[in-house]
Structure 1
Amino acid sequence: MTPGIHSQTVGTGDRPALAIHCMLGSAEIWTPVLTPLGDRITATTFDLPGHGQSAPWQADPAPGAYQTLATRIAAGFIDRPVDLIGHSFGASVALRIAVGAPEAIRSLTLVEPVLFSSVRGTPVWEAWSERQSHLITLMAQGRFEDAARSFMGVWGAGVPWDALPQKQRDRFTRQMPIIENVSQANFTDPADIFRPGGLEAVDTPVMLIYGQRSPEICPAVCEAIAARLPDVGVASIPGAGHMAPLTHPKQVSDLIAMNLDRS
């Protein structure tokens, strides 16, 4: 275990699992999703650096530095083939692990991976690149609260910024430097996750999930990834947005269970 990283387990089943949360979330988001599967899996969840009860992130400006750190931490919890689960940024980390070590994965469930580079050059990519540029500009100007308000307006659970508790708004604002490093990696893929032949080597069952009300780039990314995987299903959750594990835990749990059945 990496020092300073808080982790916990959910379930007592025979199959080891690892679940990786989204940006600005915490390991707790997985509890209602994974608890119904507790007789099948023993799932490890952990707080990413600078999130939940884990230690702060020691900022590194290198492109993709945070994703690399998160990947190393997640891989440290794997000592035999696991059912690997990720949401948003966590799904991109899970995909990076699967591409790098497909033999370590028993099944792979990805909820809205933010590997935006997978749709590079398409109209949806161009539109969201402009949004990304605006976010980066806000942070370059030191307007981190405005950046947090903008980010949560798109990727949050639908609660208006001004309705959030002040403590939560302050935390999201402090976490914006992490978002800056991660979001740039989402558009540039410095780890080359989408490289030729990488996804094709992931021969375990994969389930890609997106919310029916999510930003249009999310289903586009899921379809781009699915097109290169040999054993894959794609599911849309009616009425859900990007934060489906939080707002629609039963549906996400049922889809994970379906993928467990295939592996």
Structure 2
Amino acid sequence: MSRPEPFFREAGAGPGVVCLHSNASHSGQWRELMDRLAPDFHVLAPDGYDAGKSPAWPADQPMCLDDEVALLEPVLARAGSPLVLVGHSYGAAVALTAALRHPGRVRALAVYEPTLFSLLEQEAPAPNDADGIRHAVTAAGEALDRDDTDSAARHFIDYWMGPGSWAATPAPRKPAMAESVRQVRRWGDALFNEPTPLAAFRTLDVPVLYMVGERSPTSARGVARLLCATLPQVQPLTFADLGHMGPITHAEPVNAAIARFLAGL
């Protein structure tokens, strides 16, 4: 069986930078950042499984973050070594996993709220800081069992962006987002059951820009609390007025911070 190939966007020339998108999104979320970095960097932004133009994950198999990393291999190879990984949410969790799996290949990371909820589960059993997203995933999954993709998307999007966010989403954008949320249980399984222990991140001795929105849910800030106390070369950055979807809703300040970080490497 041939290895699946991801779709990816590409721009610029220079040191490699690979940008990984969040759930219910695709590589297009990084267009503005790619334009900003292209004069100085070779920037690639792939679509993950079931996102954008990349292949679907086989529905009858469980998936883990290592599978997402494996899908990215052609993109990582094209970026060259050592490269920089940029990630948001689920994509940031994949970026950290990729950096651990490929020591020496990644020279730095810029991550916005990686959703490694397994670290919260390892710290303490439920009830814990992951309760909110756990309940949202459960509610979204139950809605999908009723084939109610609209309610599933509402549970998921409103958790991350606040009550009423799904209702306020422009109608043309809703169908693709609702369809992507069909993967919510798979995302939850991968993030809650990731076996990597917190201590493993002490070995990730490269510069890490760790961005957090002050208005983000407890689950994202809980993961940040753990990782920022563990990563050896972490540079925490909090955006006072942003939430979890900051790289999409307020791309300019987030992209500017990433560009400054890369310029200083």
How far apart are the structure 1 equivalents of 2:162 and 2:22?
12
Query: Aligned residues, how many?
Result: 257
How far apart are the structure 1 equivalents of 2:164 and 2:31?
21
| Alignment RMSD (CA, Å) | 2.5
Q: Could you say which residue in structure 2 is the equivalent of 1:69?
A: 67
Note the C-alpha offset of 1:188. Answer: 2.2
How far apart are the structure 1 equivalents of 2:239 and 2:29?
17
How far apart are the structure 1 equivalents of 2:101 and 2:6?
23
* Distance change >3 Å, CA 10–CA 178, structure 1 → 2: same
* Distance change >3 Å, CA 147–CA 3, structure 1 → 2: same
Identity %: 24
2:227 corresponds to 1:229 = no
Q: Could you say which residue in structure 1 is the equivalent of 2:16?
A: 16
Q: Could you say which residue in structure 2 is the equivalent of 1:55?
A: 55
Note the C-alpha offset of 1:255. Answer: 2.0
How far apart are the structure 2 equivalents of 1:51 and 1:159?
24
Secondary structure of the structure 1 residue equivalent to 2:225: helix
Note the C-alpha offset of 1:3. Answer: 4.8
* Distance change >3 Å, CA 181–CA 42, structure 1 → 2: same
Cα distance per residue 1:52-102 (max 9 Å; x no partner): 23333432441xx16333211223322321111111110000010111112
How far apart are the structure 2 equivalents of 1:238 and 1:48?
29
* Distance change >3 Å, CA 9–CA 109, structure 1 → 2: same
* Unaligned 5+ runs, structure 2: none
Q: Could you say which residue in structure 2 is the equivalent of 1:44?
A: 44
How far apart are the structure 2 equivalents of 1:95 and 1:228?
13
* Unaligned 5+ runs, structure 1: none
Q: TM-score, normalised on structure 1? A: 0.86
* Match 1:150 to one of 141, 155, 160: 155
How far apart are the structure 1 equivalents of 2:11 and 2:211?
21
How far apart are the structure 1 equivalents of 2:88 and 2:205?
20
Check the 8 A contact 1:33/1:245 in 2, yes or no. Answer: no
Q: Which amino acid aligns with 2:252?
A: K
Q: Which amino acid aligns with 1:172?
A: M
Note the C-alpha offset of 1:256. Answer: 1.6
Note the C-alpha offset of 1:166. Answer: 4.4
* Distance change >3 Å, CA 105–CA 60, structure 1 → 2: farther
Larger displacement relative to structure 2 (210-219 or 81-90): 210-219
* Distance change >3 Å, CA 139–CA 85, structure 1 → 2: same
* Correspondence list, 1:9-158, <5 A: 9-12=10-13, 14-62=14-62, 65=63, 67-79=65-77, 80-120=81-121, 121=124, 123-156=128-161
How far apart are the structure 1 equivalents of 2:260 and 2:241?
20
Check the 8 A contact 1:86/1:110 in 2, yes or no. Answer: yes
Secondary structure of the structure 1 residue equivalent to 2:84: strand
* Distance change >3 Å, CA 215–CA 201, structure 1 → 2: same
Q: Which amino acid aligns with 1:240?
A: L
Note the C-alpha offset of 1:40. Answer: 2.4
Q: Could you say which residue in structure 1 is the equivalent of 2:169?
A: 164
How far apart are the structure 1 equivalents of 2:100 and 2:173?
35
